[in-house]
Amino acid sequence: MINFEKFLKSHLITNPSFHPFFQQATNEMLLAGGKRFRPMLLLSIVRQYNSLLIDSAYYAALAIEMIHTYSLIHDDLPDMDDASLRRGHPTLHTTYDTPTAILVGDGLNTYAFYLLSISPLSSDTKIDLIKELGLAAGLEGMVLGQAIDIYFEDKELQLDEVEFMHIHKTAKLIAASLKMGAIIVNLPTAIQSQLYDFGIKLGLLFQVQDDILDVTLDESEAGKDTNADGDKNSFVKLLTLPKAVEYADRLASQLQSEFEQFDTQLQLALEEIIKTYLYRHKAML
């Protein structure tokens, strides 16, 4: 991911203005780091199937990272999760103010689609990428999931409802990252769909692992506020910690089985991610 980080730094917002800190605030949370999990999914597919397209794919990878970063900034706002720490860094509304954090999030959201529009890819490919990212991030994806999360914060949901919420809030963007990589290298639609379905399960696993992290790590280890899900419909709250770990184990086992059914080239594309993330919840216990 070294070259992705270079690409990110070369595409930070640099338009000068007389605002004393807006440009700095816009770039701050991107530069704070993070796992870069979603860009890594996309780039792993592209690198394996057509490495000549990697430089072009960086635009799509950064667009996804900008959407993810905007969602974190907005999630942390006082009227949302009211968090003080993200990626080991003070949240923007605590460093600056709430309007700045809202507007930075808005700016990253819209700039992501601008990046896709100027990417050196075919027009048809760009349209497909914009469609996938818009679906995953918008009213049929992440925004809907967040709306459900906030509205039902102090109301207990059933397991299928919690899964629905997190499929939309978290998993759809992860699934879209895999599918967008497949779109860039023009994989058959059947494989695109297979990767998307795999990504939905991977996204659910990622979420339950984060819920486990919230109750098992401290802030310095997690890089964000922990024990913050008390009123939320987390998997741990609904199932208890031991049952949430069992749930994660089952999902990981299903994903391992599906991974083993992929053809060799697809396995090579994803094997490092599978090794790193499939059972990361075990390291939290």
Structure tokens that stand for 53 in this block = 């397209």
> Domain of 241?
2-284
**Residue 58 one-letter amino acid:** Y
pLDDT, residue 186, reads 98
pLDDT, residue 63, reads 98
Which CATH number do you get for residue 148? 1.10.600.10
Strand partners, 86: 89
pLDDT, residue 115, reads 97
φ/ψ (deg, to 5) at 79: -85, 0
Say if CB 210 and CB 71 are below 8 A apart: no
Closest CA to 195 of 16, 72, 4, 46: 46
pLDDT, residue 283, reads 76
Q: Has this prediction a pTM greater than 0.85?
A: yes
Checking phi first, is residue 100 left (phi over 0); if not, alpha (psi -120 to 50) or beta? alpha
Domain count, the chain: 1
pLDDT, residue 220, reads 60
- Residue with token string 């870069």: 36
Say if CB 165 and CB 145 are below 8 A apart: yes
What is the C-alpha to C-alpha distance for residues 217 and 223, in angstroms, rounded to an integer?
9
pLDDT, residue 154, reads 87
What is the C-alpha to C-alpha distance for residues 202 and 220, in angstroms, rounded to an integer?
25
Say if CB 219 and CB 87 are below 8 A apart: no
pLDDT, residue 232, reads 82
pLDDT, residue 16, reads 77
CB count in 10 Å sphere of residue 139: 11
Closest CA to 128 of 82, 78, 181: 181
Residues of the chain with pLDDT under 50: none
Closest CA to 179 of 40, 41, 56: 41
Strand partners, 89: 86
pLDDT, residue 222, reads 58
